[in-house]
Chains A and B, each alone.
Chain A
Amino acid sequence: MANEIYDSTWWGNTIDTASSIGTSTDMIQGQFNMNDRQEVEAVKCLADTIHKIGLQNI
């Protein structure tokens, strides 16, 4: 189920990668704010890259 959410929805991607971002709430907030400004098309790409950046930051 988690993978289905991860692959198909904006919320799922962001939530699924949230643990890797740790306490960097602005990385989560940044994704939601960006989607508010303009609907995100490459949802998984954005979440995956944030996930990588988050891992570097641990």
Chain B
Amino acid sequence: MAKPKLALIPATQGSKLYSVLPADGVGDFNFSRNTVATRINKDGLIETVAVGKSRLNYPLIDGVVNGCPSHLLEPSRTNLITYSNNFDGTNMINSAIITEFNTTETLSPEGINNASKLTANSAFQRYSFFPTAGDNVDVSCSVFAKKGSASIFSTLIIDKSGQPISTKFDLLNGVIVEGGGSIEDYGNGWYKCSFSGSTSSGATALQIRPFSHGSGFENGWTGSNYIYGFGASLEQGSYATSYIPTSGSTVTRSAETANGAGDASTFNDSEGVLMAEISALTNSGGKWISLSNGSTSQRISFANENGNIRVYIFNGVVIWDYIYYNINTITSNKISLKYKSGDYSLFINGFKINTSTSSLVASGIDSLQFNSGGGSGNFEGNTKQIQYFDTALNDSDLETITSWTSFTDMANGQTYSIK
């Protein structure tokens, strides 16, 4: 098999996404993010990453780091909770809960003593936050919680009509027992509890009910029952993103971009293969990876688009536009797009999905972008690797580079827990 001309293997953080090939660094991507952000580091802990520095995010399986990191690229998001880690602060109401800040009884998901112990004081316990969100918007909530003597934990978004969107989490078994959302194991007993919803008339309150024992979402625990809490977020958006700490005001994590890898000598207009191992953050929108001339006028590209994988090759006219529907883009997929006059093909996870015999090709290709080719359609998701070959590989090679090498490799790559 030919050797890749460009290879991006996530292994370091910095002002670029650093490509190991070409060896001279011309394959590095220019990276941009104007704010700090957080990641899961190699020890499985939440860690702040400096302004302008790319993120290596490590996968957690059953609460421990398992496998190699991804480059994480996320859209801009704002945490509307003004004191994300203060469960008894300004702009909120504590009802009947004793809050012990910086408890020494457990380390937080950051690995330090900055979590809170939340102890029931009397009936109807809840924390009510009052974030400012617009009307008719999608909102997503996430809170980190750890079982104490109690283990059932609820969150509710109550909109202006008083209609709650709610989810109940079981911190003992790591499952959702009522409502929709996700519960992710962050290790040491901590779970990131997330859920999303659309409010017809705008969210007015986020409630955290740490002791929702029994039916429904009302409290049931009394006495001295307790759990641990850390890091609350409410974002305007259809899914929760990485933790955005706040301390007195809302905080925005700006959008991340990574573009401009390679030059005209890196890429072959006539033939080649673009391979990526990627996963999406959501099943909506188009999140592109492209070979282009710096604009969308000449592009060889594919995307996670609305839960599907779309191929789009264009040189002034559409050369190939194809959508593959039968796939889950939230899990990691290995995708290869071969281009050559009369010989186009798409391989995904070891299978030839479709072909085109178009005789047209794009021209003037001089860069690899995490967008649709010219600055829009930014890729948002996790990238495990990118390879570019300047020759058209045969089917056997395309099958090889898009296949998992073992069951364990596949399971870990898709962050499945092997039981």
Task: Contact check, B11 vs A42: say whether CB atoms are below 8 A apart.
Answer: yes
Task: Contact check, A38 vs B24: say whether CB atoms are below 8 A apart.
Answer: no
Task: Contact check, B3 vs A24: say whether CB atoms are below 8 A apart.
Answer: yes
Task: Contact check, B387 vs A53: say whether CB atoms are below 8 A apart.
Answer: yes
Q: Which residue of B lies closest to A42 (CB)?
A: B11
Kindly identify, within residues 4 to 27 of chain B, every residue whose CB is under 8 Å from any CB belonging to chain A: 4, 7, 9-16, 18-25
Kindly identify, within residues 1 to 58 of chain A, every residue whose CB is under 8 Å from any CB belonging to chain B: 24, 26-27, 29-31, 33-35, 37-43, 45-46, 48-50, 52-53, 56-57
Task: Contact check, A26 vs B23: say whether CB atoms are below 8 A apart.
Answer: yes
Task: Contact check, B13 vs A38: say whether CB atoms are below 8 A apart.
Answer: yes
Classify the interface of chain A: helix, strand, loop or mixed.
helix
Contact with A along B39-83 (1 / 0, CB 8 A): 000100000000000001000000000001100000000000000
Instruction: Indicate the size class of the contact surface on chain B.
Output: 20 to 34
Task: Contact check, B21 vs A26: say whether CB atoms are below 8 A apart.
Answer: yes
User: CB within 8 A of A33: which of B7, B9, B23?
Assistant: B23
16 contacts between A and B (CB under 8 A): A33-B25, A34-B25, A37-B28, A38-B12, A38-B16, A40-B11, A41-B11, A41-B12, A41-B56, A42-B68, A45-B68, A45-B69, A49-B9, A49-B68, A56-B400, A56-B401
Say yes or no: is B405 at the interface (Cβ < 8 Å to chain A).
Answer: yes
Minimum distance in angstroms from B174 CB to a CB of chain A: 27
Minimum distance in angstroms from B380 CB to a CB of chain A: 22
Task: Contact check, A26 vs B18: say whether CB atoms are below 8 A apart.
Answer: no
A27 CB contacts on chain B under 8 angstroms: 3, 20-21, 23
A4 and B11 alpha carbons, distance in the complex (Å): 20
A48 and B21 alpha carbons, distance in the complex (Å): 15
Minimum distance in angstroms from A8 CB to a CB of chain B: 13
A45 CB contacts on chain B under 8 angstroms: 9-11, 68-69
A35 and B18 alpha carbons, distance in the complex (Å): 9
Minimum distance in angstroms from B199 CB to a CB of chain A: 40
A49 and B409 alpha carbons, distance in the complex (Å): 12
A27 and B21 alpha carbons, distance in the complex (Å): 7
Contact with A along B112-130 (1 / 0, CB 8 A): 0000000000000000000
